[in-house]
Structure 1
Amino acid sequence: MAHIPVKDTEPTIGGLVMDASRDISTLISKEIELAKSELKVSIKHGGTGIGLFAGAAFLGVLAIIMLSVAIAYFLSMTGLHLAWCFLIVFALYLLIAAGLAFVGLKQVKQVKAPERAINQGKEIPAAFKGRA
């Protein structure tokens, strides 16, 4: 009985590892390219949106100025001197600004660190070591 050599068509473990690492590297690079292209579109829309918000804010400031002048002239119809009317409008805006600053300060004091996320983040190294 003659010994017939078996053709080794099965890939080796080293070959499989090399193929897998090449495929993973290709997949990661393609995912990065996809993310870059999506970000370019998002950044373009975001920039346009920011520009439109800036224009709206500018027009809002102009509208507040016109409203202030209108309120001052409306107050002058009561017989007050126009200078006093503008000072009243100014004081009104100062009161509103102080109220907003007070509420904003209370909100800022309520900001806390994300304690649960920090604690979970500290557990990740132990989980990788198998001590979960």
Structure 2
Amino acid sequence: MSAADDGRSLGQLVASATTELSALVHDEIALAKAEIRQDVKRGAIGSGALIVAAVLVLFSLPVLSFAAAYGIHNLGLGLAWSFLIVGGAFIVLAALLGLAAKVVLKRIEPPRKTIASAKESAAVLSSVKPHPRAVTDGADARRGVDMDKPAAVTRS
């Protein structure tokens, strides 16, 4: 005990400790909220930058496609064949990306730990029996409301 606590009763000390613990919990919650707000702000800025980058790449694809097709045409191939080569290259690239996505998606597994924990919790809770409640004559004893009669609606 500190010198300031010498003259205080046990009840006052418990009340003081409870108040300080409550303040500590509130401060921790406020800190967590501030950190989450900061992370959300960073995430929004990063997402916005990623969206702008994706739009710029999307807009650049037709320009680069035409440049590639006309570049192939300048090598002496017909214009139609040049565009077919560029289009075919895009189809091959899309097929390769699709295969890569398929391989990655096949590696996704169900959340085994969560499923096991949920099954364990369900097994524990299935053996729990609710406490029998006292049967009343239709009145809610806590609020003094008769549940058999419709409640009056008050408007403010």
TM bracket (short chain)? 0.5 to 0.7
Name the TM-score, length of structure 1 as normaliser.
Answer: 0.68
Name the aligned partner's letter for residue 65 of structure 1.
P
Structure 2 unmatched runs, 5+:
1-6, 125-156
RMSD of equivalent CA atoms: 2.9
1:52 aligns with 2:77: no
* Match in the other structure for 1:107: 104
Cα–Cα, structure 1 residues 116 and 40, in superposed 2: closer, same or farther, change >3 Å?
closer
Match of 1:37 in 2: 34
What TM-score comes out, normalization by structure 2 length? 0.59
Distance 1:113 1:19 in 2: 48
C-alpha separation between the residues in 2 aligned to 1:113 and 1:48? 31
Q: 1:73 is aligned with what amino acid?
A: Y
Partner of 1:11: 10
Residue number in structure 2 paired with 1:90: 87
Q: Determine the C-alpha separation between the residues in 2 that align with 1:112 and 1:19.
A: 51
Quick one: distance in 1 between partners of 2:22 and 2:119?
29
Distance 1:42 1:23, change over 3 A: same
Q: 2:66 aligns with which of 38, 51, 69?
A: 69
Q: After superposition, give the CA deviation of every residue in 1:19-65 in whole Å (9 maximum; x if it has no partner).
A: 55444333222211111122222222221221112222222223333
- Identical pairs, percent: 33
Structure 2 counterpart SS, 1:71: helix
**Structure number with higher relative contact order (C-alpha < 8 Å, ≥ 6 residues apart):** 1
Deviations 1:65-95 (A, max 9, x none): 3221111011112333322311221111011
Contiguous gaps of at least 5 residues in structure 1 = 1-7, 127-132
- The whole-number CA distance in structure 2 between the counterparts of 1:25 and 1:71 is 67
Q: 2-side partners of 1:106 and 1:9: how far apart?
A: 69
